[in-house]
Structure formats: structure tokens, C-alpha cells
């Protein structure tokens, strides 16, 4: 080959190589440019999510971004601190601090969370180092002051903490933090309440102050007033899941599971904490079903997110499913030690699958004895399973101390089972129930876990040999969870006891079948019993709604117990009003003004219209004393004050 030809070939080959390499490097350069551009766009999007109070969405972008792009690394890191602070992920913040403490400069809220984490793990040396770095530069003096006090408490120096609290004072609303700490450390409830009253005057909109007031009032036994404060704390900061959870847990403690579920489930979205999602799903499954939008993994953040997705994916009829557990790779042992939801769901599934020995063993190994969500249900299950498995009744000190004391609202089944453990022979109806699997839905129904009871039911028709209260209770559970029509369908198949017939009459009225319902109640209304009393009361109200005043009066006359009661007197006043006899109604209501809320309300309204301000105020305040959580009554008092001022000004202007 000629030399000139070889040179030409070499030159052409070189050009080809250069062109190829150029296109490759050009491709890489364009690809990198696109990646960097997308990273910057993702950063802007994440910042906007945080600005819109959607930290969960921002956190999802943080998790999926390409860590290999280093150009915006510091900006992403600072954003992550802000996001973690918003979602309350102290564990991740602590992890980042341990690796790069310098990055926390300028992130005071995140630093406070890390400091709290250090106190929780008793890392006092690290706490002191972090605390000193914020000694001179701080915009939240009350938060650091509270940390200093808590550090003394954690280290056992309670007296020193109290002394520091008493000797210090903070400016303005910040002093509420000091006063609430004093209240918490004071054993005397009246003294503690005094501190909280001072804190309330300083910072009436501080949710912590309202929350602590609620806790003290609850300990004092002032339940209705405590509810007002729990509600106020939640409404003051609806984005804080802790105040929402406190209110819901308050309802749960007093067996208002419908309100608890409603509180947990309200406005669930990608900003909601994982434990709020979990509780809403669990209690909807065992107590009161509620409509929940489906969460996606990107909606959730926190360690409980897999458990939330697991519960959401469970079939409606299942409480626990090992196949779904494997799908989400749940750490069952870890969750079992931390979450009561898992404990109860596994017991329910074992009972549903007739694995009674396994259910019994789970009960005996319960790690939450002192804080059981329902000691009555738990104790009853132990008693029944021991009876059915012919095991000795377990004696458990922790369970004993957590058990609820006698209460008028407690279901009779629990008392009957307690007597059973003292070697008393059960009566035939209870014995028949104990020997049947129907005892398990009976226990959950008695404890107020209506949905669990309905899911455990094996048959639509209950045996006539069971206690009469069982069919009535299941029918009520169906009524509240499925509606009156389904409850009627169920009740038609049961033994027609007087209780069942009374409920049937109520359900017919609730379903709009007035004639059939009133006919049913008419048959019971003359009975000299509690059933006759309620039947007559329902019947008179139905007649009044239909403007059948004479029939209402006749029904009342046939039921002597109702006629003599406060309820009966109220009905007489309504009849008088319906017949155009307001003076007679006024006379009846006046005689009831210290005992009947209906009378108080009527007299207050009458006085307001007559401009008798003192009487209107007196009656409204009497109502408020009975119902301290009714916000409308506070509004009514304000309206009375304003109307009186206007009336006085008008009167003075005409003189």
C-alpha cells in the first residue's frame, strides 16, 4: 500500500474516532446537564412542598434523589433538616448530627429536637456540647430553658429544677413554659392548677397550656371541663398530631370510640403522622368503621409506614395475615413489643381461626398489662379461655392493677365472669354461651369493640338459650355500624324478648316505618317497668312530632312511672305548648328549673326575649355548669351581655 494512501486511511480513522468520542462525551455531557437540571427542579419542588406544609411529599423527593449529583448537596442537606424538623423525625436528625454537627448551625428547631433525643438516651456530655453552641444565639429562649429544666429532672435533680423554675422568669408569653413545668412538678393539684391559671392568663392560645390544663382537670375528675381543654389544644394547632392524638385518646379512655375514630380519621392526608394513620385504621377495624382515603407510600413517613400500608391492604374480614406481613417485610417482633394494635389483631385472628391455645398464650405474654386499651376485654378473654381450655385461672399482679374498677356503665357480662372465677357455678344461659364460640363476639361487644364483635360472629341466628342481653347487644352493634335496616333484618330472626321488641320498635321508627314502630311500642308502653317507661317516652315523642297531642297525653297517662319523672314533666310542658297553654308550660318548667336542662333552656330563652337579663344569665350559667363543653352556651352568655349593653344604652339615650 502506498504511503500516501496509508496516511489518508489513518487520518480518516482518526477523524472517525474523534467524532465517535465527541458524540459519546457530548451525550454524557447532555445527560449530566439534564440530571443536574432535574435535580435543581426537584429541589425547588421539594421546597414548595415544604412551604405548602406538605413535608411528607418533600421527604419522598429527598429519599429518591440521585445522591451522585453533588452540585446542590448542601442545599438538599439544609432542606432535609427543615423537612425532618417538620415531620418530627428526631432519629434521622440525630443520625445527621452525629455525622455532621456543623450543618445544624442556623437550624435551631432541629437542634432542639436533637437535644431532646440526647436527653432521652441520657447522652449528657453530647447534650452539654450542643447546648453550649446555642448559648449566645437563640430565638427560642423558652425552649432552651425547658430543656435545661428537663435535663435536671432526667438527672434526678428535681429539687434543683423546681428551685430554678421558682427563681426564674421569662418575658411575656414565654413565661407560660416555666409555669407549666412548675405545674407538672407540683404534687398538689390545686397548686398545680394555680400555676396553669397564671399560664393561661399569659398565653391563652398556647396549646401546651391548654393541654396541661386538660390533664390536670382530668386528674381532678372534671371530665367535661377537661374535654374543653383537649379540644382547645387541638384546635389551636390542628397540624400538630400530638394534640389530635391527646383528644382522641381522651375519648378512648372514656369509651367514646366513635368520637375517637372520628378525631383520628379527620382530614387524613400526606401531612398526617404515621401513628395517626395507624390508629385510625386499627380502631376503624375493631370499633367503628369510617371511610378513609387510601394512603400511598409517598403519603407516609416514619417507622410505622409499612405497618400502615399492611393494615390498609388487609382484607375486610381479616385481622392478621402472614402473607401480607411477608409482602411488607414487617418486623413483627419489634412492632409486637411496641404497638398494641399488633397484639390485639393477632389475638382476634387467632380467635377467628379457632386457635384458642395460641390466643391464650398471646394474652399471657402481653407486654402492655399496665396500659391495656381495654383491661375488661383482656381479663374476660383470659377467664373464658382458661375455662374453655381447662387451664387454671392466671393471677397477674400487673393486670390486676390495670383493671377498671366497678362502674355503672360496665357491661353485666364482666361481673358475671368475675363471679365465675370465684368457683360459682354459672347460670344455664351463661354456661351455654361459654361453651359456644359466640362467647368471643359477646366479650368484644360488651367492651364496646362493636366491629370486632360483628366480624367474629359465625351465625346470623343466635341460640335462644343464650342470655337475653346478647341478641340485643349485637343488634345495637349492627344498628350503629351497619344501619337500622340491617339491624332490623337481624332482629327479626332472634327470640322476641321484651328488650328485643323494644329495640325493634325504635329501629322501625328510625327506618321511617312509623306506623309499624308505634304499633310495636304501643304493646309495651303500659308495662310498669323500665321497658314500658322507654316505650311510652318514645311513643309520646312520636305522637308530638305528628301533632297527635291527645294521643301523646293518653300514652303519658297510661305510664305512671313516666308521668312522675322529670322526663314526663318535660313532656307535659311540651303538650301544654302544643295545646296553646304557655302559662301552664311556664309553670311546669319553672318547677323544674334546678333539675331539668330542657327547662333551663326554655326559661333562658323566654327571659332573653323579655329582656330579663339576670334570669337569662342565671339559667344559661346553670346550663353551662352541667355542660361546660358546650361552646354555644358561652356564645349565648356573650349575646346576653351584648344585648343588655345595647338595651341599657338605648334606655339611657331616651331619657
- State the pLDDT at residue 648: 86
**What's the predicted TM-score (pTM) here?**
0.81
At 344, which helix (H) or strand (E)? helix 340-352
Tell which residue, 351, 570, 542, 537, has the closest CA to residue 442.
351
What is the C-alpha R_g of the chain?
A: 33
Contact 178, 168 (CB under 8 A): yes
Distance CA 215, CA 226 (A): 7
- State the pLDDT at residue 67: 73
Q: 228: left (phi > 0), else alpha (psi -120 to 50), else beta?
A: alpha
The one-character DSSP state at 139 is: S
> Where do we find the cell 327470640?
495
CA 58 to chain centre: 27
Alpha-carbon distance values, 348 to 286, 344, 362, 476 (Å):
9, 6, 11, 21
Contact 277, 268 (CB under 8 A): yes
- State the pLDDT at residue 329: 67
Tell which residue, 236, 181, 248, 160, has the closest CA to residue 205.
236
Contact 130, 118 (CB under 8 A): yes
Distance CA 429, CA 16 (A): 97
Distance CA 184, CA 349 (A): 41
CA 413 to chain centre: 26
Distance CA 564, CA 559 (A): 9
Distance CA 41, CA 368 (A): 47
Q: What are phi and psi of 372, to 5 degrees?
A: -60, 140
Distance CA 126, CA 222 (A): 42
> Where do we find the cell 451525550?
27
- For 128, other C-beta atoms within 10 Å of its C-beta total 13
> Where do we find the cell 500516501?
4
Contact 533, 559 (CB under 8 A): yes
Q: 3-class secondary structure for 607-644? A: HHHCCCHHHHHHHHHHHHHHCCCCHHHHHHHHHHHHHH
The one-character DSSP state at 565 is: S
Distance CA 370, CA 399 (A): 6
Cβ contacts of 350 within 8 Å, gap of 6 or more = 356, 358, 359, 362
- State the pLDDT at residue 20: 47
CA 620 to chain centre: 30
Contact 199, 233 (CB under 8 A): no
> Where do we find the cell 390544663?
213
Q: With a cut of 50, which residues of the chain have pLDDT below it?
A: 20-21, 24-25, 27, 397-407
At 35, which helix (H) or strand (E)? helix 3-51
Distance CA 416, CA 432 (A): 13
- State the pLDDT at residue 606: 94
Distance CA 283, CA 152 (A): 38
Distance CA 567, CA 503 (A): 20
- 387 HSE (CA, 13 A, CB side): 26
Amino acid at each position: 500500500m502506498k504511503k500516501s494512501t496509508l496516511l489518508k486511511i489513518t487520518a480518516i480513522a482518526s477523524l472517525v474516532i474523534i467524532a465517535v468520542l465527541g458524540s459519546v462525551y457530548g451525550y454524557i455531557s447532555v445527560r449530566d446537564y439534564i440530571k443536574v437540571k432535574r435535580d435543581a427542579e426537584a429541589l425547588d419542588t421539594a421546597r414548595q412542598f415544604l412551604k405548602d406544609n406538605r413535608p411528607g411529599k418533600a421527604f419522598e423527593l429527598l429519599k429518591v434523589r440521585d445522591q451522585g449529583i453533588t452540585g446542590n448537596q448542601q442545599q438538599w442537606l439544609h432542606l432535609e433538616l427543615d423537612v425532618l424538623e417538620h415531620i418530627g423525625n428526631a432519629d434521622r436528625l440525630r443520625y445527621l448530627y452525629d455525622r455532621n454537627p456543623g450543618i445544624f448551625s442556623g437550624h435551631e428547631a432541629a437542634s432542639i429536637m436533637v437535644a431532646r433525643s440526647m436527653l432521652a438516651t441520657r447522652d449528657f456530655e453530647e447534650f452539654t456540647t450542643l447546648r453550649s453552641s446555642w448559648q449566645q444565639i437563640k430565638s427560642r429562649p423558652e425552649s432552651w430553658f425547658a430543656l435545661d429544666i428537663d435535663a435536671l429532672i432526667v438527672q434526678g435533680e428535681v429539687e434543683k429544677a423546681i428551685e430554678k423554675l421558682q427563681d426564674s422568669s421569662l418575658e411575656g408569653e414565654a413565661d407560660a413554659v416555666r409555669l407549666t413545668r412548675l405545674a407538672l412538678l407540683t404534687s398538689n393539684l390545686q397548686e398545680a392548677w394555680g400555676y396553669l391559671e397564671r399560664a393561661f392568663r399569659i398565653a391563652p392560645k398556647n396549646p401546651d397550656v391548654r393541654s396541661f390544663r386538660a390533664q390536670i382537670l382530668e386528674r381532678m375528675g372534671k371530665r367535661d371541663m377537661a374535654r374543653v381543654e383537649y379540644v382547645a389544644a387541638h384546635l389551636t394547632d390542628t397540624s400538630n398530631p400530638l394534640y389530635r392524638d391527646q383528644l382522641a385518646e381522651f375519648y378512648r379512655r372514656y369509651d367514646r370510640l366513635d368520637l375517637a375514630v372520628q378525631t383520628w380519621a379527620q382530614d387524613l392526608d400526606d401531612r398526617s403522622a404515621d401513628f395517626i394513620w395507624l390508629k385510625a385504621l386499627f380502631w376503624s377495624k375493631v370499633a367503628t368503621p369510617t371511610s378513609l382515603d387510601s394512603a400511598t407510600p409517598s403519603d407516609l413517613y416514619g417507622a410505622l409506614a409499612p405497618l400502615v400500608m399492611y393494615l390498609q391492604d388487609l382484607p375486610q374480614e381479616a385481622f392478621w395475615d402472614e402473607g401480607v406481613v411477608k409482602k411488607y417485610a414487617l418486623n413483627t417482633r419489634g412492632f409486637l413489643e411496641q404497638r398494641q394494635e399488633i397484639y390485639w389483631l393477632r389475638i382476634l385472628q387467632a380467635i377467628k381461626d379457632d386457635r384458642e391455645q395460641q390466643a391464650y398464650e398471646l394474652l399471657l405474654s402481653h407486654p402492655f398489662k399496665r396500659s391495656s386499651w381495654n383491661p375488661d376485654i383482656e381479663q374476660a378473654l383470659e377467664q373464658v379461655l382458661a375455662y374453655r381450655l381447662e387451664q387454671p385461672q392466671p393471677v397477674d399482679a400487673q393486670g390486676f392493677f390495670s383493671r377498671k374498677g366497678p362502674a355503672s356503665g360496665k357491661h353485666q357480662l364482666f361481673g358475671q365472669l368475675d363471679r365465675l372465677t370465684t368457683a360459682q357455678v354459672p347460670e344455664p344461659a351463661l354456661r351455654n354461651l361459654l361453651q359456644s364460640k359466640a362467647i368471643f363476639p359477646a366479650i368484644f361487644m360488651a367492651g364496646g369493640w362493636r366491629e370486632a364483635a360483628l366480624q367474629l360472629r359465625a351465625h346470623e341466628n343466635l341460640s335462644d338459650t343464650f342470655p337475653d342481653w346478647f341478641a340485643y347487644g349485637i343488634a345495637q352493634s349492627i344498628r350503629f355500624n351497619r344501619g337500622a335496616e340491617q339491624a332490623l333484618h337481624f332482629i327479626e330472626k332472634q327470640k322476641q324478648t321484651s328488650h328485643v321488641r323494644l329495640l325493634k320498635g325504635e329501629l322501625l321508627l328510625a327506618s321511617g316505618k312509623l306506623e309499624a314502630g308505634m304499633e310495636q311500642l304501643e304493646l309495651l308502653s303500659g308495662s310498669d317497668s323500665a321497658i314500658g317507661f322507654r316505650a311510652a317516652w318514645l311513643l309520646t315523642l312520636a305522637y308530638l312530632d305528628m301533632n297527635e297531642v291527645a294521643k301523646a297525653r293518653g300514652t303519658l297517662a297510661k305510664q305512671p312511672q313516666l308521668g312522675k319523672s322529670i322526663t314526663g314533666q318535660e313532656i307535659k310542658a311540651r303538650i301544654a305548648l302544643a295545646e296553646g297553654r304557655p302559662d301552664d308550660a311556664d309553670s311546669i318548667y319553672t318547677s323544674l328549673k334546678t333539675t331539668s336542662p330542657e327547662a333551663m333552656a326554655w326559661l333562658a330563652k323566654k327571659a332573653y326575649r323579655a329582656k330579663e337579663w339576670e334570669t337569662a344569665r342565671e339559667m344559661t350559667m346553670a346550663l353551662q355548669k352541667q355542660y361546660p363543653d358546650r361552646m354555644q352556651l358561652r356564645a349565648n352568655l356573650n349575646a346576653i351581655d351584648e344585648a343588655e349593653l345595647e338595651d341599657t344604652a338605648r334606655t339611657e339615650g331616651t331619657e
